[in-house]
Copies of this chain bind each other. A is one copy, B any other.
Amino acid sequence: MSQQRTLRLSSQLHTSTVYVLGTEISLDIRGSAPKDATSFNVRGTPGVDIYIVHNPQVAKVPTCVPRWPLDDEVEVMVTMKAPSKDINDHKVRISYYGQDGGTAIHSTMLYLTCIDVSLDADTTRSGVVQRGTTDKKEWIWGPDGQGAILLVNCDRDDPKSSEMDNIHEVRFQRLDDPSLGLLLYSDLRDMSCMILRTQGPDAIFDDHKLVLHVSVSDADKVGVFHARGDDVLQQYEHVLGSHELSYVVEHASGREEDTFYVEGLAFPDADFSGLVSFHVTLLDTPTESLPETPIFTDTVVFRVAPWIMTPNTQRPLEVFVCSLSDNADVVEAMSELAQKAHCKLTICPEVENRGDRWIQDEMELGYVQAPHKTFPVVFDSPRDRELQDFPFKSILGPDFGYVTQEPFNEIVSSLDSFGNLEVSPPVTVRGKAYPLGRILIGSSFPRVGGRRMTKAVRDFLYAQKVQPPVELYVDWLCVGHVDEFLSFVPALGRQGFRLLLASPRACYKLLTEKQEEGYGDARLFEGLETVPTTTIDEILANESLRRDNDYVQSCIDWNRDILKRELGLSERDILDLPQLFSVLDEEASAFFPDMVNMIVLGKHLGIPKPFGPIIDGRCCLEENVRSLLEPLGLTCTFVDDFFSYHALLGEIHCGTNVRRKPFSFKWWNMIP
């Protein structure tokens, strides 16, 4: 709907005003009418369109002008089609007639100057700012949607700086330096463009001005920079933000576009929907002694891009592993696996990991995306053990962003480690599409008084909206991470993946079969020094272990049922990997290396070597897993992590991290 503006006509003098392209002027015909007038007519110069609104009909004034009755039912609307060349170059004449008709008893003139004012952004999500005809105030999800997108400027483009880019804002204010030499070109490329277009005679800005403004609720979520002059670094001025709610845009003769660069400063969260609106208002500043009055406002709304996780089905780009004095074999195995999968290997040295090998738990690697730019963002867990500085000091960098959540007044537990934060591949659940998958987190539910993920982390994950979380039950585990009993592997057919679940039941079935085949005396843990071996017969005869595993199976089955329901999976989407757990003090942990806690690099799987019973020279657990996974086109590499990870209550997945290719699907094309 066009913006409409009521215009009062002077009854004595002529009136002169600015008309903004795309709006309507509603003329106050009755207000300037002489007392005896009963009808009027109205004519405009070419380029001015005049409409008579006789509720509810609208009629364009014909060339042959009739007289219109001067009553409450008649309204007069004026529109124009192109910016003026000169001040007051268009006119409208209103003539009033008395009861007897004949000649006009009074007439008044309205002088019009048409200008164009438009605040534009990439509302079509094409990567380029286009002059939009759509309603820029609405942000609409989906492939037929509209609305511009902002990135949180959370990377560090200046390699010399020890801070994130969006600290710039603070720095600018502190230094109050008019040269503002700290902004880098690369930093600008992270920001979204917003263009203020103005067209019309220069002289109009002698008594009009343009103000860019933002509401107090939105202001602390953004920074806006004004590109002044030509493209020289020093000329980007910070103009809107926390302490700057409005900014007067100076008019420069001949310049029809002012370019602004907009950065996000906050991700969507419990108290922030992600939407931020900017407005430009044209003010009339008629005389020195009176304040300006508003004439026209244009508004454009941005949504801050959410932080997005990548599932195992996305192509791996970079593998992270910590190097310690005791894990050279695993590092070597990861190096070979990364090479096979054609991805980069980054080894976190002991000086940085300080003895902490659980790099999965310290951080989660995701990304942010706008039509003009995509970059990875590390989410730093509140876990904060020896690796705590690694994400900020070594991952954050040019085009690699950083985000964290500081729990307020809450106890951080093992459930806040990001081995407890995974994401499913894309799924469709009873007709509802989740094209970026769903986040999986482990929760204490339903254990009374159990550990839980902090509200800060949980609220952040929910607020991203594009990968709605599913909460699983993990507090039955000693460590309590979802990656202890589930993983996803890419696979042809079905939905393009399989869910792998650790399965005591499958393990008992396998071992019973082997016993029946006469291998009851085959031994687990053979070849491991200092670890006592045990036979299949002994395992199967251990009633206490069986009870523990029936219990574990029921906990995993509870999660299986949730996963089937919330991810829309059927039994055929799930593969059960043989696994035993032991339960001590009501807390479960893997009895032999937890095979589902694997690293998935495309088709290449790095699986904890289970040290199962050797039958005909082969580990029957490995054979079973191969028989399940290799038909899907996957290759299994079993990696000995027994003493370096398993014995410390983690495995390969816990000890690695993977940066993956962002989805080709754009998040704004989904409907949450």
Q: A-side interface residues toward B, CB under 8 Å?
A: 1, 3-8, 26, 28, 31, 35, 55, 72-73, 75, 211, 213, 215-217, 245-248, 270-272, 279, 281, 283-284, 286-287, 289-295, 297, 410, 430, 445-449, 452, 454-455, 458-459, 462, 473, 476, 505, 509, 513, 516, 547-548, 550-551, 553-555, 557-558, 560-561, 564-565, 570-572, 583, 586
Q: Which chain B positions have C-beta within 8 A of A248?
A: 448
Structural contact, A287 and B547, CB atoms closer than 8 A: yes
In the bound complex, how far is the Cα of B213 from the Cα of A452, in angstroms? 13
Q: A565 with B3: in contact, given A448-B246, A448-B248, A455-B217 (CB under 8 Å)?
A: yes
Out of B72, B213, B551, name the residue touching A445 (CB < 8 Å). B213
A307 to chain B, nearest CB (A): 18
Q: Could you name 28 residue pairs across A and B whose Cβ atoms are closer than 8 Å?
A: A1-B565, A4-B564, A4-B565, A6-B561, A26-B571, A31-B509, A35-B513, A72-B571, A75-B571, A211-B448, A213-B445, A215-B445, A216-B410, A217-B270, A217-B455, A246-B446, A248-B448, A270-B272, A279-B445, A279-B446, A284-B554, A290-B586, A291-B586, A293-B558, A294-B446, A294-B473, A294-B558, A295-B558
In the bound complex, how far is the Cα of B571 from the Cα of A540, in angstroms? 87
Structural contact, B294 and A8, CB atoms closer than 8 A: no
Structural contact, A293 and B448, CB atoms closer than 8 A: no
Structural contact, B548 and A290, CB atoms closer than 8 A: yes
With both beta carbons as reference points, the residue of chain B lying nearest to A548 in the complex is identified as: B290
Q: A561 with B4: in contact, given A446-B246, A448-B211, A473-B294 (CB under 8 Å)?
A: yes
Q: Which chain B positions have C-beta within 8 A of A291?
A: 447, 476, 551, 586
Structural contact, B72 and A572, CB atoms closer than 8 A: yes
Q: Which chain B positions have C-beta within 8 A of A73?
A: 572
- Within the oligomer, what is the number of copies of this chain? 2
In the bound complex, how far is the Cα of B246 from the Cα of A448, in angstroms? 6
16 new A-B contacts at CB < 8 Å, known A35-B513, A291-B551, A297-B446: A1-B565, A4-B561, A6-B560, A8-B554, A31-B505, A31-B509, A73-B572, A215-B445, A246-B448, A246-B449, A279-B446, A287-B547, A290-B583, A291-B447, A294-B446, A295-B558
Q: Which chain B positions have C-beta within 8 A of A272?
A: 270
Structural contact, B8 and A283, CB atoms closer than 8 A: no
Q: Which chain B positions have C-beta within 8 A of A26?
A: 561, 571
Out of B297, B430, B458, B572, name the residue touching A216 (CB < 8 Å). B458
In the bound complex, how far is the Cα of B285 from the Cα of A586, in angstroms? 12
Structural contact, A557 and B8, CB atoms closer than 8 A: yes
Q: A281 with B564: in contact, given A75-B571, A293-B551 (CB under 8 Å)?
A: no
In the bound complex, how far is the Cα of B216 from the Cα of A564, in angstroms? 25
Q: Which chain B positions have C-beta within 8 A of A547?
A: 287, 289-290
Q: Which chain B positions have C-beta within 8 A of A4?
A: 561, 564-565
Most buried by B among A272, A289, A445: A445
